[in-house]
Amino acid sequence: MKVKFLSIFLFAVISASVNANAQSKLVSLSNGDGWYRIIRGASAAGGGMVRIYGSSGNNRQTLITMNVSLMRFGQGGSINISDNLFYNTNHVDQIRGGSVGSDEYVLDIHFVGINTPSNLWITVDGHNLPILDSPVFNPTPPDRNVVDISGRVVGTTSTRWPVFINQNVGIGVANPDSKLVVDGKIRSEEVKVEIVNAPDYVFSSDYQLSTLEETAAYIEENHHLPEIPSAAEMEANGVELGEMNMLLLKKIEELTLHVIELSEQNQELKKEINKIKVSAK
């Protein structure tokens, strides 16, 4: 009986604690489009689920759910948008969080396409994330280690730790068989490929360089360069960028050796021609 009573008591305490951390407020956005500070905390840190819901004009509707972790003293945090439903584009354009000085951490939302005034529901389930009764319009931005993310994505941003994914990731692919598989184009400023065994060995004195005649014979028979996959193989299996770049570099180095050899032969021929010209005078 005592065990049963204790279990009920603990359940009640835990439930009360959880409920005490849950908040829901209907707030008014009275200044039109812009940044609104919706959460301001003065504890060491705060975190939990934040949900914004409402229909605030221009035939749009917003329901965005995120997990937020924020700290004071310029320690940054993280924002993970786990659900982002909308009708005709949501009202949340940008989200940012961080600390203002060393006294408080804040969460700001940039709203667009809203009527004035507009009412939105804000729900929080977590620790030390107090919702402001009156959101602050165009507040002083967080000043250190600001964590920010577009309000029109599902994703994660963090200033505390790298974003870690332990399994294969598929973009437009249901069953990725590699760490990252993309069905479509990738655009990047730079791609770095780790290389093992770069082909500078071509310039070693003991390297067996194929003659141009041998290469010509191989091309005549196989219709592609030695060591380079055929067009059919590349179309069927794709191309390993690191391996292919090293193969192409190897061919360039081999061609360079052939050019040097031909240049030396050309110089010898010039000398022989000059000797013939001198003797003919």
pLDDT in tens, 197-255: 899 999 999 999 999 999 999 999 999 999 999 999 999 999 999 999 999 999 999 99
- pTM beyond 0.85, yes or no: no
- Reported confidence tier of residue 266, pLDDT bands at 50, 70, 90: very high
Helix ranges (H only) for 202-240 are 212-222, 231-237
- Reported confidence tier of residue 94, pLDDT bands at 50, 70, 90: very high
User: Residue 125: beta bridge partners?
Assistant: 22, 49
Domain positions in the chain are 23-158, 199-280
Question: Does position 1 have pLDDT exceeding 60, yes or no?
Answer: no
Question: Does position 281 have pLDDT exceeding 80, yes or no?
Answer: no
Report how far residue 64's alpha carbon sits from residue 84's, in angstroms, rounded to the nearest whole number: 4
CA dihedral 135→136→139→142, nearest 10 degrees, is -40
Question: Does position 74 have pLDDT exceeding 60, yes or no?
Answer: yes
Q: What percent of the chain has pLDDT over 70?
A: 91
Q: What is the mean pLDDT of residues 114-134?
A: 91
Better-scored residue on pLDDT, 62 or 50: 50
So what's the pLDDT on residue 56?
62
Mean pLDDT of the chain: 87
Better-scored residue on pLDDT, 135 or 91: 135
Q: Write the class of the CATH domain 23-158.
A: mainly beta
Residue 38's SS3 state is: strand
So what's the pLDDT on residue 278?
85
Report how far residue 60's alpha carbon sits from residue 241's, in angstroms, rounded to the nearest whole number: 45
So what's the pLDDT on residue 18?
42
So what's the pLDDT on residue 17?
43
So what's the pLDDT on residue 267?
94
- Is residue 181 within 8 A of residue 145, CB to CB? The reply is no
So what's the pLDDT on residue 57?
58
Residues in the chain: 281
So what's the pLDDT on residue 213?
95
Residue 201's SS3 state is: helix
- Is residue 64 within 8 A of residue 38, CB to CB? The reply is no
Question: Does position 6 have pLDDT exceeding 90, yes or no?
Answer: no
So what's the pLDDT on residue 55?
73
Q: What is the mean pLDDT of residues 79-101?
A: 88
Write out the two tokens for 47. 């975190």
So what's the pLDDT on residue 202?
96
